[in-house]
Structure 1
Amino acid sequence: MSAVEPTAFELIKDGVIIALTLVASLLMTIPLTGTLVRLRANYNPRGLRLDAEGNIEPHTGPVVTSFFGMLRRVRRIEGWAGLYKGTMPTILFSLVLTLFTVAVLGASMASTPGRAIPPAVAGPFGTLAFGLVSMLLFLPFAILTYRAITTPYKLPYFRPLYSLRILLTPTERKKPWMLYSTPGLLAAQCIQIVYTAFLLTALRSFLVPRPGPDDFMASVKFGIYIGVEVVSVVVICPLEVITTKLAIQRNHAAPEYNSVEQEAEDDMIDGEEYTEYSGAEEDVIGLRHEKDPYLGLVDCAKRIVDEEGWKALYRAWWLTMLGGIVSALAAGVPYVRS
């Protein structure tokens, strides 16, 4: 017996509901995501540093170590507009991700109602492959989003070429594939995907079984899986911090600069800054000196620990842990419902 085909009205209604849900979700999550990115990108060294001539150069950037402290700081210096920095790249990323998911998974999802993951992607290897492909497709969106959040310049919503001129160096605009060669960024993303999409998926298939006669043992295994998701913050949170710091480093091909340094003079940008509007004389966050960038994944982790302390690798760790708990509960929904 064939399923009843949805009418045009039902399709439009479902589309409107999805669009409204997406808008509501973005309105709530963009300020929180922007705050998290700023907190993890903020350069907050513990001691003094030396300049190019060997003289002592005290750090003058903001010292903000808490999520809500950063949220208040953004609101005070950049206002509500600053809280919604990165809106356009986030919307574009969400739309492209939705279209990609529907195009790749739509038919399989429709043929297997009630399943969170279609058969073509289910399992550790399928999830790993899907995660790696998605990462390669959407890495440029993530880089643009992080840079849009951390830039001090106002980015018009409907002037993409102007915004790209601010966010990307001339080298990156001519050779956009260089975004993939940002030292350490691709490695950090791959390690995180292997851990979350492969190892955790394998554990999920073992520890979140289908309900059977031994419901007590199933409950114990499900509790263990929640514990694994919580403990995973030890691995995932540092990778998220490192990814954030590496993503905002712009690639430059000038021979007198390192290949990952930011533009020496901001590419002659003459744009309006948020501090000009609010009257504040300070930036929301501080960044590493453009002539002393991170050179890779290991170098980034080592310098963070040496300069900012190991606690910097676990900024807003509780948000990562909360995400793991929600993921574990979502994986156990079929078990709970049954």
Structure 2
Amino acid sequence: MIYILIIVTLLFPLKGALIRWRANFTPKVQPVPELPLVDDASQPRSLLGMLQRVNAEEGIDGLYKGILPTLGFVLFWKQVMPLPSIAVIGYLHFGVYDQNAVLIIAIASPIKIIATVIEAVFVNRAVTTREDIPSFSLRRALDALLSSTERRHPYRIFIILGLLAACTSWVLYIVGTIGARHFLFVKQFSSTFGDWENVKPLLPLLVGAVIFSFILNALVLTPLEVIMVRLSIQAKATPVTLLLDTPPAEAVGPIRIDKDEYTGLISCARLVIQEEGWGALYRGWWWTGFRGLLFI
């Protein structure tokens, strides 16, 4: 477990920069006359560009902003609630498809969806908010990450417009593709994996399957993850100051005003394409594609 935490800690600056890059609003044209014009030349155009910008403006503190909620969720899934993920992956890959397997998957998937919504809200907001997140004061941290309405009624994070739908789609895609891989590859070739002579003719097919999975993950999961970031950082009642930890006048991009808020999964995708172009929906596609190979 300690090795997992070390790896997560080492890779976190990349994850934090990716979340900021996906959250950054960079319209192709000036969408609202009242907002200041965006200096196109100053906008980070890549994950590396965002990483360098954060490091230059905020230093090590900025690179590791949001690390504590991230490590907390890693511990939650690995120590407190490992069963849902293990059950889904275990049964879909190696289990017998009977009523018990279906029941376990039916129970585990909603738990995964609920945890994904909570993780998206807390981790994405912790990374993107300008407010300082105290390490040893849970109440002050919640004040910084949740709106007053959400603090009074925590269930409201589950009715953030479109977020539950995006997280559900994300989880169902993972569960569905793991099941498809089991039926198409693991189940068909499991008897030949121990014999190199029998496996060798199948290598082109297996390589093709890996490449296909990479492309499919990038095409499907990346827009969902961008949408999850955008939706999760929208507060329910009071505006949350987002993006880089700089004064509002020097923010990386303009902050969306109320009438421009995303009102759902489809609305978010449509507005991102309309205002920022298709490229904004595919920020970090290679990251998602490679990471997806670990569970798809």
Question: Normalising to structure 1: TM-score of the pair?
Answer: 0.73
CA distance in 2, matches of 1:265, 1:139: 18
* AA aligned opposite 2:68: M
Mapped pair 1:26 → 2:8: yes
**One of 37, 41, 46 as aligned partner of 1:58:** 37
Change (3 A) 1:36 1:104: closer
Unaligned runs of 5+ in 1: 1-17, 109-115, 253-262, 267-272, 329-338
* AA aligned opposite 2:231: L
Unaligned runs of 5+ in 2: none
**Structure-2 residue corresponding to 1:133:** 111
**Structure-2 residue corresponding to 1:147:** 125
RMSD: 3.1
* AA aligned opposite 2:153: K
Mapped pair 1:228 → 2:212: yes
Mapped pair 1:78 → 2:58: yes
Asked if the contact 2:31/2:275 (under 8 Å) is kept, the reply is no
Displacement of 1:180 in angstroms is 0.5
**Structure-2 residue corresponding to 1:203:** 181
Instruction: Give 3-state SS (helix, strand or coil) of 1:49's partner.
Output: coil
Asked if the contact 2:126/2:145 (under 8 Å) is kept, the reply is yes
With 302-311 and 315-324 compared, the bigger mean Cα shift is at 315-324
**Structure-2 residue corresponding to 1:238:** 223
Displacement of 1:242 in angstroms is 0.7
Asked if the contact 1:105/1:118 (under 8 Å) is kept, the reply is no
How many pairs align?
281
Instruction: Give 3-state SS (helix, strand or coil) of 1:58's partner.
Output: coil
More helix, by proportion: 2
Asked if the contact 1:49/1:58 (under 8 Å) is kept, the reply is no
Instruction: Give 3-state SS (helix, strand or coil) of 1:50's partner.
Output: coil
**One of 167, 171, 175 as aligned partner of 1:189:** 167
CA distance in 1, matches of 2:227, 2:85: 31
Instruction: Give 3-state SS (helix, strand or coil) of 2:256's partner.
Output: coil
Instruction: Give 3-state SS (helix, strand or coil) of 1:295's partner.
Output: coil
CA distance in 2, matches of 1:195, 1:137: 16
Displacement of 1:230 in angstroms is 1.6
Displacement of 1:189 in angstroms is 1.3
**Structure-2 residue corresponding to 1:304:** 272
**Structure-2 residue corresponding to 1:88:** 68
* AA aligned opposite 1:223: V
**Structure-1 residue corresponding to 2:155:** 177
Change (3 A) 1:264 1:143: closer
Change (3 A) 1:120 1:207: closer
**One of 228, 232, 248 as aligned partner of 1:247:** 232
**Structure-1 residue corresponding to 2:26:** 44
Mark the structure with the bigger radius of gyration: 1
Displacement of 1:297 in angstroms is 0.5
Displacement of 1:187 in angstroms is 0.8
| 1:227-249 Cα deviation digits (max 9, x unpaired) | 22122111111111111111111
Instruction: Give 3-state SS (helix, strand or coil) of 2:90's partner.
Output: coil
* AA aligned opposite 1:207: F
Displacement of 1:175 in angstroms is 0.5
User: Whose RCO is larger (CA < 8 A, sep 6+)?
Assistant: 2
**One of 254, 260, 263 as aligned partner of 1:292:** 260
CA distance in 2, matches of 1:78, 1:146: 17
| 1:23-44 Cα deviation digits (max 9, x unpaired) | 3123212211101100100000
Instruction: Give 3-state SS (helix, strand or coil) of 1:203's partner.
Output: helix
CA distance in 1, matches of 2:279, 2:132: 31
Change (3 A) 1:137 1:299: same
CA distance in 2, matches of 1:290, 1:301: 17
Displacement of 1:299 in angstroms is 0.5
Change (3 A) 1:195 1:103: closer
With 91-100 and 303-312 compared, the bigger mean Cα shift is at 91-100
* AA aligned opposite 2:17: T
Displacement of 1:67 in angstroms is 0.4
With 166-175 and 289-298 compared, the bigger mean Cα shift is at 289-298
Identity value in percent: 29
With 317-326 and 27-36 compared, the bigger mean Cα shift is at 317-326
